[in-house]
Amino acid sequence: MKRIILSMSLLIFAAAPSFAQNASKSVTDQTKLTINAADPSTTVSAQNPDAMKFTSEIHDFGIIPEGPSADYEFTFTNTGKEPIVIQRAQASCGCTTPYYTKDPILPGKTGKIKVAYATQGRPNAFTKTVTVATNVGTKVLTIKGNVEKAPESSVPQNTSMIKTH
């Protein structure tokens, strides 16, 4: 048992310089992203976040009914010289869900990020954001609107203490 513990300690101690060396890589090395895992030479370096030209970064739904999901597609054009890869899109809360392509968006091409807001049980005004992280930087998209409460049912609810089933 002592040999196993000693062996593990030596292994960890010997591997520590390797981890430290990897951590000290320059920022430009850390911002490179491999597009094709089969060909590691296809990397994209960080560039200006303005390479993602959105038609609009804010969408106002106005007044929408409670119940169905409110969906909107943000569209952008890659105005840069290198492909854009969306690494992740994170909503500000669980009631908002972003959907995006995993494929690189080539220069001159358009990409889409769909955002769905669950309105059920959420009457009143809302403002939600989606943070989009890419190999060219970060963008924050905003949706807002006002959910109109669904009308009460015309059928009276049974408030009796007697079970009807």
Phi, psi dihedrals of residue 145, rounded to the nearest 5°: 170, -170
Please tell me whether residues 50 and 72 are part of one structural domain: yes
Confidence at 165, pLDDT banded by 50, 70, 90: low
Please tell me whether residues 6 and 65 are part of one structural domain: no
pLDDT at 94: 94
pLDDT at 158: 62
Please tell me whether residues 104 and 50 are part of one structural domain: yes
In a domain, 160, yes or no: no
State the residue range of the domain holding 68.
Answer: 46-148
Confidence at 156, pLDDT banded by 50, 70, 90: low
Give the chain's domain count: 2
Q: Answer whether 0.95 is exceeded by the pTM.
A: no
Average pLDDT over residues 106-114: 96
Per cent of the chain over pLDDT 70 is 64
Residues pairing with 110 in the sheet: 77
Please tell me whether residues 140 and 59 are part of one structural domain: yes
Average predicted confidence (pLDDT) for the chain: 78
> Of 22-26, 62-66, 69-73, 126-130, where does mean pLDDT reach its minimum?
22-26
The string of pLDDT tens digits covering residues 31-59 is 344 444 444 434 444 457 788 999 999 99
Give the C-alpha separation, 84 to 134, whole Å: 7
pLDDT at 50: 83
CB environment 60-78: b (16+ within 10 A), e (fewer): ebeebeeeeebebebebbb
Fill in the DSSP letter of residue 44: E
Fill in the DSSP letter of residue 156: P
Closest CA to 104 of 41, 30, 43: 43
Please tell me whether residues 91 and 19 are part of one structural domain: no
Average pLDDT over residues 3-25: 48
pLDDT(89) > 80: yes
Q: Which amino acid is at 159?
A: T
In a domain, 30, yes or no: yes
Contact at 8 Å (CB) between 90 and 118?
no
Average pLDDT over residues 130-137: 95
